[in-house]
Chain A
Amino acid sequence: MTEKKEGTKPETPMDARIVSKEDLIAALTALAQDHTVIAPVDDRTGAVFAPTQDAAAVRLEYRNTSLSPKAAVFPQIETLLAFQDGVATETLPEPPETVLFGARPCDARALAMLDRVFQRDGIDDPYVAARRDRLTVIALACDEPGPACFCTSVGGAPDDHTGADVLATDLGEALLMRPVTERGEALLAALDGARPAEAGEIEAAQERSAAAAEKIGRVPVPSEPARLLEAFDSEIWAEIAAGCLGCGACTYACPTCHCFDLTDEHKRGTGRRVRSWDTCALPLFTLHASGHNPRPSTDARLRQRVLHKFAYGPETIDEMLCVGCGRCVSVCPSGIDLRRILARLDGCIAGGGPG
């Protein structure tokens, strides 16, 4: 159903290395000298991805963060143009080389999806590309899935390496680090204290991930995305969205949601054009200047979110735009659960059409 990101090479266990946790912290400290290092650090909500100078503060044990690390390539707020005396100038970012350490495989896979979204139809979003081109992703395999995780139902796995340059697995005292791309290979080659992994260690990592996969609940995911459109006019959307309060928490927390708004902030010819995350959950999203809104209700807006992920994603980028991280489930203030929505849709379609 899903294909691995092009340009990644198949796993070659020969290249796998073992790095002690001490050496890893030393390596991240060294990297932070001339790179931006984004990593999970302590937060009142558990952990957050944040640029950090202090590698000792980096967490290796954490559950999915409230927000995904998508802001590393697609920040919530970005200035696209600067206006000065009526003249507009592109403000392309020139970010430093950046290492995203500790992204879970679902989040790394989401970055690969965003690549395909922002590099489509011959258009390569230069703002996103500038960050992506300078980004090295070290994914950290999951060994303790969270209560809302369902990556295995949407083509992911606790040790999926899609979107990553290096896949790391915590083996207790040390990490097994497997290069996925040439960029990852180069990073590992320069890593002090690393030694080649032994077959037993690679096996141990596989066992950990297999055990993690066992703990992840399964969700019925539509096998024929196009058939979801049969349910477009179904009454089930009103039922599904009955408790929806209409905030944007699910979309902002989502690692693959990528809609944005453009706003000009200027006074007398001076100011800027800002790109900001937008959300289909809010009524303003598709409000026309005429006052007409093609998605006038929470039902229609929630339907849009679900169908964008599971029907339109397969159409436009050949993939469902969902990596099963479960964040939308965790953050929803009214307890709406995408897993239940999928089960409901499955029943609706399997049951001979829209209800």
Chain B
Amino acid sequence: MTVQEQLRHRAAELLADGTIDLFVGYAASDAPLKAAVHVARTAADAEMLTWNSFCAPNVAALLPKLLRRPDGAGEDWAPQRVGILAKGCVSRSIVGLIKAHQIPREAVHVIGVGCDGVVDRHRAARLFTPAAILDAEPLDGDRMLLRGTDGAERTVDLSEILLGSCLDCQHRNAVLADETIGDPVPETGPGPQEDAATSFAARPIDERWEAFEEEISRCIRCYACREACPNCYCTECFAEETEPHWIGVTTDPSDLMLFHLGRAFHQAGRCVDCGACVAACPMGIDLRLLTHKVNRDVEALFGGEASVSLDIVEPLLQFEMTDDEGFITEP
């Protein structure tokens, strides 16, 4: 059985035997280079599940909404049981959500799957500009055949079109799973973002500020990055709070900066670098410019990676009486 066949088979079984009420994964999309987030409730729904290199969304983002206790729920309320397909980053997000008490461990049944990375549609599209990509066909040996609206065909190495996060990924297999499908994929070392981040950090501060300003000037405040992110589970975001009104509604530089800096700081020590925000952004903003930096800062200051195990409490989630308080300034 292929991995996809195993996936459909197991999801259908779990739904049928009552282990789960619904299964969250991906289905094929009619649009090129994309997969649709898919919620299966029946065996027929499970037949639509798919697993390929277009499965960019982090489906863990659905879990807090699916498992949140509704307002006014009684004593006898119990969460649904949710099955979920978890590539490495999705499994890390699940670990993070469990530790942040956003989802109960027992409510999720995780099917782990090894991942070779997913396609960045913006990156792929740039290979065809000014034409658009009409369709894409995976080939053997980590290659893909792309067809353009202009009739052109081009075979590319996956490394040319994968999300930056995937090129840097060090957790391709699920770190938490109730069962796995397919063979584990080999883990690889840090990728190109390390060099990009190092050379970015080496630039003078005014150049970095200018680059940051230019990058976020593309933002249209659609909040796709936020909604696509499993860490953004707040029921009310600081960006939309009206009392106090932290941030204006406009696309003026000050509002955009506040939103993106606020978002990045809230990711510190929690971001699993899944790239879902980058994949979601309709404007092609490099959101990792900031999240990668805060990840590395937390690692350098406190050690450890976010959400790789249920047994480790992340540095910014713990408190000890002996913590250094030297950063607190006198009033």
Contact = CB atoms under 8 A, between A and B. Distances in A.
Contact of B250 (A43, A77, A336): A77
Interface in B20-74: 26-27, 29-32, 34-39, 57, 61-62
A335 B227 contact: no
Interface stretch (A10-18, A111-119, A133-141, A325-333): A325-333
Contacts of B32: 147
A337 B284 contact: no
Nearest to B148: A144
A61 B132 CA distance: 10
Contacts of A237: none
B149 A276 contact: no
A203 B4 CA distance: 50
Contacts of A43: 284
A162 interface: no
Nearest to A262: B249
Contact of A335 (B34, B150, B252): B34
A47 B130 contact: yes
A210 interface: no
Contacts of A66: 282-284
A91 to B, nearest CB: 14
Interface stretch (B162-170, B175-183, B216-224): B216-224
Interface stretch (A25-33, A178-186, A242-250, A344-352): A242-250
Interface residues of A, number: 49
B39 A242 contact: yes
Interface stretch (B121-129, B194-202, B303-311, B318-326): B121-129
A81 to B, nearest CB: 15
Interface string A229-266: 00000000000001101111101110000000101010
A76 interface: yes
Given A148-B31, A337-B29, A243 B38 contact: yes
A333 to B, nearest CB: 3
Interface in A272-292: 274, 276-277, 279, 282, 284
A265 B250 CA distance: 10
A62 B128 CA distance: 10
A225 interface: no
B125 A45 contact: yes
B240 interface: yes
A43 B283 CA distance: 10
A67 B221 CA distance: 13
Contacts of B135: 147
A335 B279 contact: no
**Which of A42, A277, A330 is most buried by chain B, counting CB atoms within 10 A of its CB?**
A330
A51 B101 CA distance: 48
Contacts of A59: 130
A249 B282 contact: yes
A243 B57 CA distance: 10
Interface of B: 26-27, 29-32, 34-39, 57, 61-62, 122, 125-126, 129-135, 149-150, 220-224, 226-228, 240, 248-252, 276, 279-280, 282-284
Interface of A: 42-47, 59, 61-64, 66-67, 76-77, 144-148, 242-243, 245-249, 251-253, 261, 263, 265, 274, 276-277, 279, 282, 284, 329-331, 333-337, 339-340
